[in-house]
Structure 1
Amino acid sequence: MRIGVFTVLFQNLPFEEALDRVVAAGLSAVEIGTGGYPGSHHCPVEELLESETRRQEYMEAVTSRGLIISGFSCHYEPLSPDQELARESDEIFRKTVRLASLLEVPVVNAFAGLPAGAPGDTCPNWVTCPWPPYFLEMLDYQWEEVAIPYWKEAGKFAEDHGVKVAIEMHPGQLVYNVDTLLRLRDAVGPVIGCNFDPSHLFWNGVDPVAAIRKLGDAIFHVHGKDVYVDPLNVSVNGCNDNKPYDRIPERSWTFRTIGYGHGVKVWKDIMSAFRLVGYDYVISIEHEDALMSFDEGLAKAVATLKEAGIFEPPGEIFWA
């Protein structure tokens, strides 16, 4: 198991300076954005696709520091009813897959996307309940007419390039929990798995340990991020909260640095669950804590993960 970081945290720094900060933090992996919501601050995708020399220089900057690239991330909106946005998202995804293949980066992280509720609609529609009955009709359209056809083609493209696609289960996306992730995987094939981010599960009442046990080898990549669920606000308004993230005192949940939403025992259980299902890759810290500086948030997340993580192979069960 390695601890890494999503380098959007250092987006205002030049690439090699960002890598130096990663090493100084005691980490051994970087997740790098290639466009879409994460941006491409540390990855000149077109330049790298066009030049083998630049690719060699880029990877030398990473490997010479004892780092690996755990994944490229291009979370965006490939199923959007805005055709230009959907086209742009697909183009970013395909270029990211091509680059990952060339650089032997095994995983591309992405959102599944969110379609409109019916042909001709202009806005995406996130369905959260089955009644009135038109919601089920909308879901059928979103899955059968939009999501599955798109991801079958996109998944084959990734598979042909030897790259796995890790879909992040996220509110406001068609894939937002274990059931929806496995539905897409069942429809498309094992090239689809998940980028497991427990912060999006805690607030929805999901036990990450149970989710990990259910997903098993469908976990391709992991985000290290926590969330604080405010019991007072939840008791009044429930957990499905669309107030802006900066209204922290009013919100039902708020992203926090690891250990500041749930204690180290919870994270030890999560790390043990990863060991049980055979996940032994990277925990990539994603800092989105509005109450801490970047440096303090990263340092505290690293400290908690180093305490909770399991890094050595298990010993022989000599007592059995």
Structure 2
Amino acid sequence: MKLGMLTACLPDLSLEQIAAWAGDAGYEALEVAAWPRTGGRDFEAAHLPIGEFNGQVADETKALFERHRLELSALAYYENNLHPDPRRRAEIHAHLKAVIDAAAALDVPYVGTFIGRDWNRSVADNLAEGEKVFPEIVEYAGERGVSVIIENCVMEGWHPDGYPGNLAYSPELWEWMFSLGLYLNWDPSHLTWIGIDPVKTIASYADRIVHAQAKDMEIQSGAIDRYGFFGKAVRRPDPWDVGWWRYRVPGRGQVDWNAVVDALYENGFTGTLSVEHEDPVWSGTEEKVKTGLEIAHRTLRPLIVA
């Protein structure tokens, strides 16, 4: 197992700047953000020139990682592949395929994305649509030696009422997506807030957990008694603000990282555990974000065999 980080938390830095800092900070791998641009929403970034990607860019990127003794664990483009607007969906699929092409050129085994959801339709209708959409994407990736990995983020902010906007949030839905040839970028923070014990999910799905993200979450005392499980309803100007929990860096929330890492090892996980930093306490400036990443490193490094 290697300790890595997702680059999206530092959208204003270049990949070269991030690689230099991450290597010095003791990280071993980067999960590289590969959106077409930075700034569409929080925690997305464009750290590879996907639109202009060519052999020279691939060679320069490989040399950069070699220079800083880092692995490139995955490319990250987490978007709604079932978007209700046909034009927007086509744009997402086209960029996803371009990211897959870049991963193949870089010898990167995984590209991460979301299932997503058409929030105007039922879950059953979305699953039927997903069964039409994803086999072609999986085949496209497979022909290039790449596997598509899906993060189990709920993406409640994508739904007008705060319901799941990414239909990959539970083991029941994982089994459905595995049948389509998809793999899991496993994240315990999302499981924790929806009431699923993350450690108990590892053994059953170990053969499909090929990459993992290290994000923590904190339940804010007493707040759920006002809002209920689904969160704020009357006043919710920020669709992502549920009101009773928030993301934290590993070591500042309620995930039992000792148990998580132990279970990953016990069940044969040999991939990258990649810190995904979305902690509001350690955000706002480059210095604070890097401090949050250092906290995460201090939490996880003693648990992972060098």
Q: Same fold (TM over 0.5)?
A: yes
CA shift, 1:34, in A, is: 1.2
**Corresponding position of 2:168:** 175
The residue matched to 1:76 in structure 2 has which SS? strand
Q: Is 1:44 matched up with 2:49? A: yes
1:142 and 2:126 correspond: yes
**2:279 alignment partner in structure 1:** 289
More off after superposition, 38-47 vs 155-164: 38-47
In the alignment, which residue of structure 2 is the partner of 1:111? 114
- Match of 2:183? 193
Identity %: 26
2:47 aligned counterpart, secondary structure: coil
- Aligned counterparts, 1:118-267, within 5 A: 118=121, 138-144=122-128, 146-171=129-154, 172-186=165-179, 188-189=180-181, 192-241=182-231, 243=236, 251-262=243-254, 266-267=256-257
Contact 1:78/1:90 (8 A) holds in 2:
yes
Measured at CA, do residues 104 and 261 of structure 1 come closer, stay the same or move farther in structure 2, by a change above 3 Å?
same
Flag structure 1 segments of 5+ consecutive residues without an equivalent: 119-137, 313-320
Question: For 1:43 and 1:204, how far apart are their aligned partners in 2?
Answer: 33
Does the aligned pair in 2 maintain the 1:169–1:197 contact within 8 Å? Answer: yes
TM-score normalised by structure 1 residue count: 0.83
1:68 paired to 2:61: no
Structure 2-normalised TM-score?
A: 0.87
Indicate the structure (1 or 2) with the bigger Cα radius of gyration.
1
User: 1:5: Cα distance to partner?
Assistant: 0.9
Distance in 2 between residues matched to 1:269 and 1:19, nearest whole Å: 29
1:16 equivalent in structure 2: 16
Contact 1:34/1:92 (CA < 8 Å) preserved in 2?
A: no
The 1-side partners of 2:149 and 2:265 are apart by 19
Aligned residues: CA RMSD:
2.0
SS in 2 for 1:3: strand
Q: In the alignment, does 2:93 pair up with 1:90?
A: yes
Map Cα deviations across residues 261-283 of structure 1 (whole Å, 9 max, x no partner): 126xx111000110122112111
Going from structure 1 to structure 2, the CA distance change for 1:246 and 1:300 (only over 3 Å counts) comes to farther
- 1:195 is paired with a residue whose SS is strand
| Residue number in structure 1 paired with 2:305 | 311
Distance 1:247 1:108, change over 3 A: closer
Moved more, 29-38 or 221-230: 29-38
Structure 2 Cα separation of the partners of residues 277 and 235 of structure 1: 37
Distance 1:31 1:231 in 2: 33
Q: Is the 8 A contact 1:78 1:85 kept in 2?
A: no
Whole-Å separation in 2 of the counterparts to 1:262 and 1:140: 33
Matches of 2:142 and 2:237, distance apart in 1:
38
Structure 1 residues 141 and 9: alpha-carbon distance in aligned structure 2, compared to 1, 3 A threshold: closer
What one-letter code is carried by the residue in structure 2 that aligns with 1:142? N
SS, match of residue 222 in structure 2 = helix
Structure 1's 161 and 247: CA in aligned 2 closer, same or farther, altered over 3 A?
Answer: closer
Cα shift at 1:46:
2.5
Give the C-alpha shift of residue 221 in structure 1: 1.1
Q: Find out whether 1:302 has 2:305 as its counterpart.
A: no
Q: Find the aligned partners of 1:295 and 1:245 in 2 and give their Cα distance.
A: 25
Q: List structure 1 segments (4+ residues) > 3 angstroms apart after TM superposition.
A: 36-40, 242-248
